[in-house]
Amino acid sequence: MPFKWEYTVAAFFVLFIVGVLVVVFMTLDDRNDLVVEHYYDAEIQYQRQIDRVERTQALAEQPSIQLTGAGIRIGFPRLFSSTDLTGLIHIYRPDDKRMDLSFPVGPDTANVQLIPAGLFQPGRWNVQLRWSGAGVEYYSEERIVVSGQQR
């Protein structure tokens, strides 16, 4: 039986089209969440953010963000009274904005605030700490990875 080139070329094109369709359907299922909804507005405010970071770095005692078995432990500098501290703790998952969490700054008398471990699924989390002490704004950020054993 002679070899038919027409069938080979037709089979190649059919397989190619099927392959392209498989890739298209696989990419339709992929989510690409933006970390910030209105990133142009956020860019305009970025100089203020730079100033907050520089003020934080100039402090004699830096805030600490640590993952412990009990949760995320945030320690504020003892330079400030716990009653004078205000602000927001934003904890987010870069890959799923539906899991983002926000908490008001409310440390205890030792300037420590604990976010319970039961709120976090295993994976990478970013902790953004924007706070004010004595009327001056500060900012600190830390990346943490929650493993299955820490829950």
Q: Please count the residues of the chain.
A: 151
pLDDT of amino acid 125 = 92
Q: Do strands 136-146 and 101-104 pair parallel, antiparallel, or not at all (unpaired)?
A: unpaired
Note every long-range contact of 35-40, with CB atoms under 8 Å and residues 24 or more positions apart, other chains counting. Answer: 35/92, 35/94, 35/97
Arithmetic mean of pLDDT, 139-143: 94
Which DSSP string do the residues of 41-75 spell out, in sequence order? HHHHTHHHHHHHHHHHHTSSS--EEEEETTEEEEE
pLDDT of amino acid 103 = 93
Delineate the domains of the chain, giving CATH numbers in brackets: 39-150 (2.60.40.10)
Residue type, 100: D
Residue 115 near residue 88, CB atoms below 8 Å: no
Helix (H, G, I), strand (E, B) or coil at 138: strand
Q: What is the pLDDT of residues 15-25, one digit of tens each?
A: 999 999 999 98
Residue 130 near residue 83, CB atoms below 8 Å: no
pLDDT of amino acid 74 = 93
Q: Do strands 123-133 and 71-75 pair parallel, antiparallel, or not at all (unpaired)?
A: unpaired
Instruction: Report d(CA 141, CA 18) in Å as an integer.
Output: 46
Q: What is the pLDDT of residues 76-106, one digit of tens each?
A: 998 888 888 999 999 998 888 888 999 999 8
pLDDT of 149 > 70? The answer is no
Mean pLDDT over each residue of the chain, to the nearest integer: 87
Q: What is the pLDDT of residues 39-66, one digit of tens each?
A: 778 788 888 889 999 999 999 999 999 9
Instruction: Report d(CA 9, CA 114) in Å as an integer.
Output: 65
Residue 70 near residue 114, CB atoms below 8 Å: yes
